[in-house]
Structures are given as C-alpha cells and as structure tokens.
Amino acid sequence: MRSIFYLLILISLLNTACTNKIKIERFVWIQHNQNWVWNPNDLQARFYVEYLDSCNEIKFAYTKPKSDSSEYYISVCPPDSLKSLIINNLYNNDYSECYPNDNTPYMWDGYNYCIIYKFRNQPERILNYIPPAVPDSLRKFINYLEQLTSLQSYKKTRPFDRTTLFNKYREKIIPCGYFAPPPLDDSIKVKYIISR
C-alpha cells in the first residue's frame, strides 16, 4: 500500500516538473462577431483573453456590442490553473484548425471563437470553433475559458494591443466560420417582370 502511495507522489512530482519546463510563448482566446458582419474588415474581437506566461497574468479586453469602446483588465491573482490547463489540453495535441470542419453541417447563430497558441520550440497554431462542434476532449477546457470573462479577480488597466494578432490571423479565422461575403454588384443579375 505504501509503495502505491509513493508511486503516486513520484508521478505527481514528475508531472509538475515536466509542466514547469514547458514554456507557453503565447496563448490568446478570442470571442468574435463573425456571424453578424458582412464585411471581413468589420470582424472584431468582443472578448480577448491573453495569458502571459512570462508575467503569470491574464490580460482581458471587452468591446461593447454596437460600439467601438473597449474596457481593459488584468488579473489580480496568478492564474496557475490556467497554465496547467493550457499545457494539458494543447501541448503536443494535434487539433484541426476548424471546428466544425467541412464534413459537419452546423447552423450556428452565436459568437465564434478562436484560440491562438504557441509553445517554445513549436509552431504557432490556431484553433477556430463554435461551441457545439468542440471535440469532447476540449469541452471542459473551453467551458473554463468562457468563465474567464466573468471572474471578479480583474482590475482595470491601460489599453493594450489586442488587434495585431487578430488581424494577423483574420484570413485563417474567416474561412473557418463559413464566412461568405455578399456578391459583387456586377455579378447580381435581376430581371423585373410586370405581372398583369
């Protein structure tokens, strides 16, 4: 019985040691308005959550609907659980860039989301999703991320850059939401018929 107890302690220590060696260079979670805009230039991040491993803090920005005014916050207490969840759910896991993918028919009228992340010595990745299409293996992690926007452990802070990364990946975000801009004016052919 004691040997099992010591084995569990050893496994826990090894897991902690490995987790501490993994460096998260970037983690951003974005809720965006793709379902309600026709022009790709109108794509905006409504909620923007950025975890900074180097500072062990969370930056959070909220843009009010139907306005360009934004509020900026920063976490008051260290988000240790977020770091371990990022590593456990994303490190060395090969997820598709889009959920749903082309084979999955979904009608979705809510916000769309994306996660942009990078670990040291690995390429930067993006994961676009709508909540009903998230794989079961990510569901608890996604639920945790959605709760970050309602936590009370933030204080207001100065504005920070939340558009550069979003603009960098705009072309990868748009196709995943089946974004179809309206046709050009010259491609529309309308024929009026007078009925009697």
Q: What is the CATH number of the domain that holds 149?
A: 3.30.1560
Residue 87 has a pLDDT of 93
Calculate the average pLDDT of the chain.
Answer: 78
User: Which pLDDT does position 192 carry in this prediction?
Assistant: 62
Mean pLDDT, to the nearest integer, of 121-125?
Answer: 92
Query: Please, which residues bridge with residue 32 across strands?
Result: 45, 112
* Number of domains composing the chain: 1
Whether the pLDDT of residue 17 is over 70: the answer is no
Tell me what percent of the chain is helix, strand and coil, each rounded to the nearest 5.
35, 25, 40
Residue appearing with tokens 């491609």: 187
Q: What is the pLDDT of residue 167?
A: 82
Per-residue pLDDT at 6: 47
Paired with 75 in beta bridges are 154
What average pLDDT score do residues 85-97 get?
A: 90
Distance of CA 177 to the CA centre of its chain: 13
Assigned domain for 186 exists: no
| 139 belongs to a structural domain | yes
Residue 190: inside a domain: no
| Integer Cα distance of 94 and 106 in angstroms | 22
95 domain residue, yes or no: yes
Contact criterion met (CB below 8 Å) for 167 and 73: no
pTM of the predicted protein model: 0.75
Single-letter amino acid code for the residue at 5: F
User: Residue 191 domain-assigned?
Assistant: no
Residue 16 in domain: no
Q: Give the integer Cα–Cα distance in Å for 111 and 88.
A: 25
Domain contains 172: yes
In the predicted structure, residue 90 carries a pLDDT above the cut 90 = yes
Give percent of the chain above pLDDT 70.
73
Mean pLDDT score, 105-115: 80
pLDDT in tens, 138-192: 999 999 998 887 777 788 999 998 888 888 887 777 767 554 444 455 555 666 6
Contact between 143 and 64 under an 8 Å Cβ cutoff? The reply is no
Domain holding 50, by residue range, is 26-180
Average pLDDT for residues 99-125, to the nearest whole number? Answer: 82
Note whether residue 20 is domain-resident.
Answer: no
Output the pLDDT for position 163.
Answer: 84
Name the E strands within 147-191.
Answer: 154-156
